[in-house]
Amino acid sequence: MLRSRFGCKHVLRVPCIPPESGRDGARSWNLLRTNHGHGLTSIRAITTGHESLRPDVLQKREFIPKTLETGNYNVALPDRARVVVCGGGIMGGSIVYHLAKAGWGKDTVLVEQAQVGGGTPWHQTGLAATFKSSHTEVRLSHYSIELIKDLTAKGLPTGWKQCGAVNVARGFDRMTMFRRMKSQAVSWGIDCELLTPEECKERCPIIEIGDIAGGLWVPGDGVCDPHQVCTSLIEEAHRMGVTVIEHCAVKKVRQAEGKVRGVDTTSGPIECDFFVNCSGFWAREVGKLSSPVVKVPLHPVEHYYLHTKPLAGLDPDTPIIRDMDGQIYVRVKDGGFMAGGFELEAKPAYEDGNVPLSQPERQLPPDWDHFYVLLVEMLKRVPALRKVEIDRLCNGPEAFPPDCKWILGESPEIQNYFISAGMKTVGISAAGGIGRAISDLITRGYSTLDLYQLDISRFTGLHNNRKFLRDRCREVPGLHYRVEYPFNEFKTGRNLRMSPIFPSLKEAGAVFGQTMGYERPNYFDSREKVDKNGIPRFRIADTSTFGKPPWFDFVAAEYNACRERIGLADYSSFTKIDLQSKGREVVDLLQYLCSNDVDVPVGSIIHTGMQNQFGGYENDCSLARLSENYYMMIAPTIQQTRCKAWIAKHMPHIGPVNVSDVTSMYTAIAIMGPYTRLLLSELTDTDLSPKNFPFFTYKELDVGLANGIRAMNLTHTGELGYVLYIPNEYALHVYTRLWEAGQRYGIQHAGYYATRTLRIEKFYAFWGQDLDTFTTPLECGRSWRVKFDKDIDFIGREALTRQKQEGVKRMYVQLLLNDHDPEVDLWCWGGEPIYRDGEYCGQTTTTGYGFTFKKQVCLGFVRKLDRDGKPQSVTNDYVLSGNYEVEVAGIRYEAKVHLHSPNLPTKFPDKEREAYQATRDKQGQAALLSYETKF
């Protein structure tokens, strides 16, 4: 290995030159010891300059005062605007462009602390990719590329070139992922093609194919110049009336009564109704400029871009090269190469929290030792890199979110305060779509896309903890190119939120997953549950396969316990909200927010959706009426921030209602199975007979020596049992009593994977997995939970009434795969295309293995498309008359379709359990949308 030393600080390691490289190869790498302007030997100057900066300098904002002679946009800051957008980068440019297109140009002001389109071209990849991890991201990216094409067609500078992309796979799992992507491409409207190694070479002759298994060709991908795209968008927006102010920094975002009222800047104050924080790298810092603080969880990590000198004969139309197994990409730029990657363990920048507040300060000296792992992979995949002179290696830190997904939407803390941040170096792929989405949210109050997966309300306060972000963001960049196995779990930022029974569960062999920071058992494995010192080990669940998972047998045993004996599960992560008022205000509020009738007798439990104006699910929850004017809401874990923001935004002026988040006050233990009533009866004096404590009701119980336990006669899985909401100080006592008394009934711990399988077999839809903001109760068989005749006009009633009259355009179904061998065949993991009579008709949502059916079970939606691809009304007869297939990584399996919750065979039949149908009416009921029930 060759070593070269620069100055007295930096040691550079470069790969050995293979013997066959000869003198030319040696001469190519000899450039590392030469001066090329801003090339490698300038590292000494960069390092020296960086070290001379005192920490206190980084904490100060030093801006060029705004004058009418400064910058390209020479206007004064107006006194008022409807929208103020902070950040003149690609995202801010897209937002103001779309606001102007919507007719809000003259009412919009863009402020930028330096110059619009700032930043350095050395830190911009310009890769515009189509494939993303979710349908929403794909649609945002697709629109972004189309926008760039439109700008190009108008003669505006963009640097666009549709060169396509060759994605190579080194092994079986990566090729399986590509096959899954190819299958999903039908649903997502992406043109792509699977390639053999030889075909990869034909598409891109400069790559080495000796170690690859195949590839995926995406012809729609391309490259552009982000700086040109940004300036074109802003110039177009300016032409349509947007006011652009350069060298103007935000000092404070003002609010009153929970809504944006104005912005104080270095150029003076401006009143406004909406504020958009799209300041990119600085979005978290800008979020601190309001009271309350708007939490934008981002942390910078070092990110590297390798630029080379031009190489004679290099084809300018060379496709983008992605070697995801090597964590690298390579593209042609300005006659040479530009390369980068996403190392598995990133290097956090500015760990002390002193984030630089200008672009020049943001550049760091390159760490060649850290970059070395990516460099080796680049040389392996593109041998031509050995023959080219390096221009420079740039270290431009980028801010990453803690879950590796874009951040956008309205802030939970202040209404009319919008965020667009965390683009993870691929802002050009996101900018157009997100710009339009944010514009729609501001001007129309809604987006045409389901954005919940990207909405900032998916976070809680813990995600904005700087030390948490620092640790988590070491891991996040590497997720870009890792194989997307099912149920990915983060390794960092763990052991944060734990129920009081966490130590006992760990001791029992729990293998954990994390949701909203909560440690939740995914399954239990009693093997190797302690370390060499006899201390219970903390283990993180892992599913590194697309076939039969390693935890299959453990989950099967837990499933059987829940169905035939007693299973005990920790439900503590569920969102728990108390709502109460002195008078009937809380009842009127919930009647307005909920589509079901919540004015039920005290002690009743209502399952209801909270619909938006289109009838889609903003929340799906259970409401227990504790007293006349007191309710407890149980919602999905990921709703903890979101549901509170929704309630606050839509709370009419009907009087004071106290909304309290009690998620962390109660430990929730679910016991499931035919013996649960007998078990609980031994521990409480309350009569638990069906007559006194029927299904879907609530009671406060004493259990063991503890009191004040909120017991609900349901399990959210379709199995008999109870969920006990226990004050935390009593949790360990109640858990111990349940476990000890349950031994005679064969009690067993059950994790999330088992309860998930139970609800999939019982055809239970779950928000965030099956239900979303565009799914209505009528589409998923829950029309009987919508009370159209309520006295209060609930949100979404008009849209649901219209849908009831016109018919649904898609229908929620359950599919059982035939001729699928779970031992050897690849499994369904969600997102698989569904075919009816050989024609594409929908996608799966949640999938799993049904231990009673002994088959793969898929939940999903079926549509009826005409020849032009437009959806038509779907009926029961249409669904039941088709022959179905589900495509799993390119292989189609015949499937049997169900429209109704099945009654699964059991040794312990129960009228309560059999009477409740979670999805649609009783089997054989003809009128799908007219069935009424008390639940």
> What burial class does residue 710 get, using C-beta atoms within 10 Å of its C-beta: 0-12 exposed, 13-18 middle, 19+ buried?
buried
63-72, 112-121, 599-608, 703-712, range with the lowest pLDDT: 63-72
Q: How far apart are CA 888 and CA 815, in angstroms?
A: 13
Query: Phi and psi dihedrals of 70, rounded to 5?
Result: -95, 135
DSSP assignments along 904-921, one per residue:
---SS--HHHHH--SSSS
The answer to whether residue 30 scores a pLDDT higher than 90 is no
- Band of the pLDDT at 268, cuts 50, 70, 90? very high
Q: How many alpha carbons fall within 13 Å on the CB side of residue 891?
A: 12
Asked if residues 212 and 131 have their Cβ atoms less than 8 Å apart, the reply is no
> What single string gives the DSSP state of each residue in 621-634?
EEEEEEETTEEEEE
Strands 328-333 and 320-323: antiparallel
Find out whether 327 and 481 touch, Cβ atoms under 8 Å: yes
Strand partners, 568: 671, 749
Q: Which of 25-34, 150-159, 533-542, 869-878 has the lowest mean pLDDT?
A: 25-34
Structure-token pair, residue 11: 């040691």
Q: Are 431 and 93 in contact (CB under 8 A)?
A: yes
Q: Which residues pair with 630 in a beta bridge?
A: 580, 627
Rounding to the nearest 10 degrees, give the CA dihedral for residues 850, 853, 859, 864.
160
Residues 153, 23: Cα–Cα separation, whole Å: 47
- What is the mean predicted confidence (pLDDT) over 726-743? 98
> What's the fold here for domain 809-899?
Elongation Factor Tu (Ef-tu); domain 3 (2.40.30)
pLDDT at site 909: 74
Whether a cis peptide bond, with omega within 30° of 0, leads into 292 is yes
Going by their DSSP bridges, the two strands 417-421 and 320-323 should be labelled as: unpaired
Residue 111, Cβ density class (10 Å: 0-12 exposed, 13-18 middle, ≥19 buried): buried
Task: Report percent pLDDT > 70 for the chain.
Answer: 89
Mean pLDDT in the chain? 90
Compute and round to an integer the Cα radius of gyration of the chain: 29
pLDDT tens digit string along 165-208?
999 999 999 999 999 999 999 999 999 999 999 999 999 999 99
pLDDT interval class at 452 (50, 70, 90): very high
Residue 602 has pLDDT above 70, yes or no: yes
pLDDT of residue 42: 28
Residue 260 clears pLDDT 90, i.e. is over it: yes
Parallel, antiparallel or unpaired: strands 83-86 and 214-218: unpaired
Does position 502 have pLDDT exceeding 70, yes or no?
yes
Pairwise CA distance, residues 540 & 741, whole Å? 29
User: Cβ(720)–Cβ(915) under 8 Å?
Assistant: no
The helix (H) or strand (E) run that includes residue 110 is strand 108-111
pLDDT at 753: 98
476 CB-side CA count, 13 A: 28
CATH number assigned to the domain covering 65-161+220-297+401-459: 3.50.50.60
How do residues 373-397 score in pLDDT, each as one tens digit? 999 999 999 999 999 999 999 999 9
- pTM score of the predicted model: 0.91
Q: What are phi and psi of 682, to 5 degrees?
A: -70, -20
What are the start-end ranges of the E strands in 585-683? 605-611, 617-627, 630-635, 658-661, 666-672
- Please state the domain extents for the chain: 65-161+220-297+401-459, 809-899
CA angle 398, 404, 406 (to 5 degrees): 80
Contacts of 754 (CB under 8 A, 6+ apart): 523, 555, 558, 559, 562, 567, 569
One-character DSSP codes across 637-648: GGGTTHHHHHHH
- Mean pLDDT, rounded, for 754-767: 96
Contact 635, 575 (CB under 8 A): yes
548-564: average pLDDT: 98
Burial readout 794-808 (b: 16 or more C-beta within 10 A, e: otherwise): bbbbebbeebbeeeb
CB-side exposure of 320: number of CA atoms within 13 Å? 27
Take residue 711 and report the two structure tokens written for it. Answer: 């017991």
| Digit-coded pLDDT (tens) for 761-792 | 999 999 999 999 999 999 999 999 999 999 99
Of 352 and 798, the one with more pLDDT: 798
Flag whether pLDDT at 62 surpasses 50.
Answer: no
Average pLDDT of the residues in 639-667:
92
The model's confidence at residue 13, banded by pLDDT at 50, 70 and 90, is very low
Q: Which residue has the tokens 């470069």?
A: 14
Closest by CA to 411, choosing from 278, 518, 610, is: 278
Assess whether pLDDT exceeds 50 at residue 43. no
Query: Per-residue pLDDT tens for 413-437?
Result: 999 999 999 998 888 999 999 999 9
Q: Count other C-beta atoms under 10 Å from residue 322's C-beta.
A: 27
Name the 3-class secondary structure at 109: strand
Q: What does the pLDDT read at residue 372?
A: 96
Q: 514 - beta bridge partners?
A: 519
DSSP code string of 261-314: EEEEETTEEEE-SEEEE--GGGHHHHHTTBSSPP----EEE--EEEEE---TT-
Q: In the prediction, which pLDDT does 119 show? A: 62
**Which two three-digit tokens encode residue 59?**
């904490």
Average confidence (pLDDT) over 754-759: 98
Mean pLDDT value of segment 246-257: 96
User: What integer pLDDT is reported at residue 61 of this predicted model?
Assistant: 44
Q: If you write DSSP's letter for every residue of 718-740 in order, what string do you get?
A: SSSEEEEEEEHHHHHHHHHHHHH
Task: Round to whole Å and give the CA distance between 275 and 303.
Answer: 29
Rounded to an integer, the average pLDDT of 845-863 is: 97
Q: How far is CA 764 from CA 341, 431, 716, 771, 902, in A?
A: 41, 36, 8, 10, 10
Poorest-pLDDT segment among 59-68, 292-301, 436-445, 873-882? 59-68
Query: CA 430, CA 435: separation in Å to the nearest integer?
Result: 8
Give 512-532 pLDDT, tens digit per residue.
999 999 999 999 999 999 999
Q: What is residue 72's predicted lDDT score, i.e. its pLDDT?
A: 64
Q: Establish whether domains 65-161+220-297+401-459 and 809-899 are of one fold.
A: no
State whether the Cα torsion 81-82-86-89 is positive or negative. Answer: negative
Amino acid identity for residue 313 in this structure: G
Structure tokens at 221: 């991908």
| Predicted local distance difference test score (pLDDT) of residue 910 | 72
Residue 915 is predicted with a pLDDT of 65
pLDDT band at 922 (very low <50, low <70, confident <90, very high): very low
Q: Taking residues 817-831, what's their average pLDDT?
A: 97
CB 158 within 8 A of CB 224: yes
User: Quick one: which of 158, 394, 159, 362 has its CA closest to 280?
Assistant: 362
Structure tokens of 582? Answer: 């002195």
pLDDT band at 843 (very low <50, low <70, confident <90, very high): very high
37-40 long-range contacts (CB < 8 A, ≥24 apart) are 38/391, 38/392, 39/390, 39/391, 39/392, 40/6, 40/12, 40/390, 40/392, 40/393
Quote the pLDDT of residue 4: 33
Whether 337 and 313 have beta carbons less than 8 Å apart is answered as no
The DSSP secondary structure of 84-99, one letter per residue, reads EEE--SHHHHHHHHHH
The sheet with strand 747-749 has its strands ordered as: 698-703, 706-712, 721-727, 666-672, 566-570, 747-749
Q: Tokens at residue 1, please?
A: 């290995």
Q: How confident is the model at residue 47 (pLDDT cuts 50, 70, 90)?
A: very low
d(CA 726, CA 669): 8
Residue type present at position 677: R
Task: Please determine, for residue 213, whether its predicted confidence score (pLDDT) is greater than 60.
Answer: yes
Q: For residues 330 and 384, is the Cβ–Cβ distance under 8 A?
A: no
